Amino acid sequence: MRAVFLLIALGILAGAASAQSLEVVGYSGHLGEWELTATVTETASGPIKEYSGPFTMKHIGVCTQDGPEAKTGEMRLLVSASSSQLNATFSVAGVECTYSGRLSDSSTGTMKCPDRQAVPLKLWLR
């Protein structure tokens, strides 16, 4: 019985070890005034890979008074290698924003949030 539990535990650890992580870096805003950073972990594989994890957006523009404003939240990425499509969902303080772009050296698209004008977002996946 103990051997069965050991095999199950090893199988779970092997599955967790095989999950890939991606580093995500980006700039948002018309002047690129928001810097986005994240490390996301693969949660589903197949023709469309899914990643999720925490992210931080930091205002790097010159109009900050008390240091850079920072926002944190959760990010979910869907990456389709066959269509070179990247879709993302960002959740910050109960607000959910969406992004859609094409994969190449970087991914350029727009981030859309409720009750706000869409803003440019450029992402790099490493």
DSSP 65-116: SSS--EEEEEEEEEEETTTTEEEEEEEETTEEEEEEEE-SSSEEEEEE-TTS
Q: How confident is the model at residue 19 (pLDDT cuts 50, 70, 90)?
A: confident
Q: Tell me: the pLDDT tens digits for 69-104? A: 899 999 999 999 788 899 999 999 999 999 999 888
Domains of the chain (ranges plus CATH)? 20-125 (2.40.128.120)
Q: Residues 40-76: pLDDT tens digits?
A: 999 999 999 999 999 999 998 776 677 788 999 999 9
pTM of the model: 0.79
* Per-residue confidence band for 16, with pLDDT thresholds at 50, 70 and 90: very low
Rounded to the nearest 5 degrees, what angle is found at the Cα of 25, between the Cα atoms of 23 and 26?
A: 155
